[in-house]
Amino acid sequence: MLIKLLLVILCSTLLNINEEKTSIIAKDINTNVKFKKPSLIEDINKENSKELLGTISIEKINLLNKPIYNINSKKNNIEKNITILKESILSKNNSIIFLAAHSGIGEYAYFKNLYKLKKSDKITLISKSDQYQYKISRIYEQKKSGYIKVNKKYQNELILTTCSENEDKQLIIESYLEK
């Protein structure tokens, strides 16, 4: 039990993206994605509004409207929230967003059911002004090394990660912004 706890702690503290090992291939694709402005953000506690980037929802696993805080916010903490990793690139035309959260059990195990997702399932991100629909393109495990190795294939991507049920691996879910 102590070893599992230590592995969970290690997984959460070592989760970084190795920029040297990450291949990013940028394609110049012109997109005009329009979504109606969601009212959900208006309902979020106003004191968090400066720190809040938006919310994530994955209906299939009943993960609904969970907040995502700015990278520099104290609330961007894997111990209590879904965390956006500092290696994320937030851009309207060529983004890659890395989100991490605990799996397993407990109040803060937001990604405990990620293993139930399948290719083509949907993930929704809502910012203060837009709604973005992502489609899962790949699900796999990587050996835990303290880094995530990803080859960027799409113009705008969302990567979710958490510890796997296999103690020496982490689960990686790649998705792309639907046009």
Q: What is the CATH number of the domain that holds 61?
A: 2.40.260.10
For residue 109, what are the domain limits?
2-177
Global pTM value: 0.73
Please state the three-class secondary structure of 105-135 as a single string. Answer: CCCCCCCCCHHHCCCCCEEEEEECCCEEEEE
Domain count along the chain: 1
Rounded CA-CA distance 168/147 in Å is 13
Rg (CA), the chain: 16
The 10 Å Cβ neighbour count of residue 49 is 11
pLDDT higher than 80, residue 32: no
Q: Which amino acid is at 24?
A: I
- pLDDT tens digits for range 123-165: 999 988 889 999 999 999 999 988 888 888 999 999 999 999 8
- Residue 160 CA, chain-centre distance (Å), reads 4
Rounded CA-CA distance 21/39 in Å is 39
- pLDDT tens digits for range 44-71: 445 456 789 999 999 999 999 999 999 9
